[in-house]
């Protein structure tokens, strides 16, 4: 069974419950008994604290087996920042939104970390940014200060989270990024926000281990040059740059791609389809994996892809396709905004609001 948490605001106000396993959406519409549809399955919710168990049939390629949902009443929680996430079973609506909505996708590789500076293999070891890394994150924020951001996804590692937070300090909209805490019920309750005005000025930040850097196994913490001297440059190059050969007890790029791309498809792409503008702050290998999917690169093409630290890359999701627009920095910025009326209108609105 998969357990999914949801919360809703005052029972007379419409809100949405986001199901983070991408299995559908429940809308709470009244204070009396509520009839909801999840795919072909009917659910009835009450305004009191309750548990709802939904059983799904296992027919068809998109069946989920048996799922269990907990619905927990709350006066106002950050969960209400989210709009609906599309159910993969609702193909008609899914395809219609793919064609009609446009959204921005920003990818940022974290700034220089303390172990980058020391030339050490970092992998999944959780180390912070250097002063240079902080400056790179701030500069990245300046580059995207006119691009709308509705949601942020980061890895579970502090260097990616620092990059996202520092970048957003430069955004002209001045919304506050807030990390979602869903570790347990107490964390959810204690991190609730009870002001609608504050919620409107907040951006949910979702930290996911699936976006972590690839795990370098027994190389983590070793000096890169010393490792090359010990094992040979060719062997270390093979570990670092091959697609399907992992370092000792570590992950290959292929293994990293399996988790990162699956998470992108299940959790991030539905938000883009619904029109949300998304920023991802992550790592060289997890971002290369996602770019491989976005640009339809081969395994040979992706291994030669280099991403600079702290340089944002912009994609436009439109009519079901991802179009790479490069980094939104003068003199190319005009070209970025000329491409999409929606981004141009957003910037104009910012100018009018702030001037």
Catalytic residues: 110, 213
Which tokens hold the place of 8?
């809703």
**Do the strands 25-28 and 321-326 form a parallel or antiparallel pair, or are they unpaired?**
unpaired
Q: Is 200 exposed, middle or buried (0-12, 13-18, 19+ CB in 10 A)?
A: exposed
Judge if the upstream peptide bond of residue 331 is cis by omega within 30 degrees of 0: yes
230: enclosing H helix or E strand: helix 224-231
**Do the strands 41-45 and 202-207 form a parallel or antiparallel pair, or are they unpaired?**
unpaired
142: enclosing H helix or E strand: helix 131-143
Which tokens hold the place of 71?
């619905």
Terminal Cα-to-Cα distance of the chain (whole angstroms): 53
Q: Give residue 270's region: left, alpha or beta (phi > 0; psi -120 to 50).
A: alpha
């Amino acid at each position: 069974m998969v357990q999914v948490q949801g919360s809703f605001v005052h029972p007379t106000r419409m809100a949405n419950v986001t199901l983070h396993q991408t299995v559908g959406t429940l809308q709470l519409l009244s204070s009396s008994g509520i009839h909801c549809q999840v795919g072909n399955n009917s659910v009835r919710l009450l305004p009191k604290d309750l548990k709802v168990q939904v059983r799904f049939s296992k027919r068809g390629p998109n069946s989920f087996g048996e799922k269990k949902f907990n619905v927990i009443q709350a006066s106002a929680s950050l969960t209400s920042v989210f709009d609906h996430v599309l159910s993969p079973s609702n193909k008609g609506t899914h395809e219609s939104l793919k064609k009609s909505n446009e959204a921005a996708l920003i990818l940022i590789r974290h700034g220089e970390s303390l172990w980058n500076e020391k030339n050490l293999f970092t992998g999944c070891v959780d180390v912070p940014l250097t002063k240079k890394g902080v400056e790179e994150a701030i500069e990245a924020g300046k580059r995207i200060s006119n691009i709308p951001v509705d949601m942020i996804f980061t890895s579970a590692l502090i260097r990616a989270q620092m990059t996202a937070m520092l970048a957003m300090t430069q955004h002209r909209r001045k919304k506050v990024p807030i990390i979602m805490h869903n570790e347990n019920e107490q964390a959810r309750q204690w991190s609730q926000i009870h002001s609608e005005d504050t919620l409107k000025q907040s951006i949910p930040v979702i930290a996911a281990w699936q976006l972590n850097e690839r795990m370098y196994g027994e190389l983590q913490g070793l000096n890169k040059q010393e490792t090359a001297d010990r094992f040979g440059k060719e062997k270390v190059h093979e570990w670092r740059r091959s697609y399907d050969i992992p370092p000792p007890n570590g992950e290959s790029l292929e293994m990293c791609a399996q988790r990162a791309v699956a998470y992108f498809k299940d959790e991030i792409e539905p938000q883009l389809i619904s029109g949300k503008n998304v920023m991802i702050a992550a790592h060289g290998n997890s971002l290369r994996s996602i770019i491989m999917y976005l640009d339809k690169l081969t395994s040979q093409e992706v291994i030669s892809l280099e991403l600079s630290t702290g340089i944002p890359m912009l994609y436009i999701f439109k009519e079901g396709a991802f179009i790479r627009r490069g980094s939104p920095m003068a003199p190319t910025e005009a070209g970025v905004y000329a491409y999409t009326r929606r981004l141009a209108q957003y910037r104009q609105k910012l100018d009018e609001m702030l001037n």
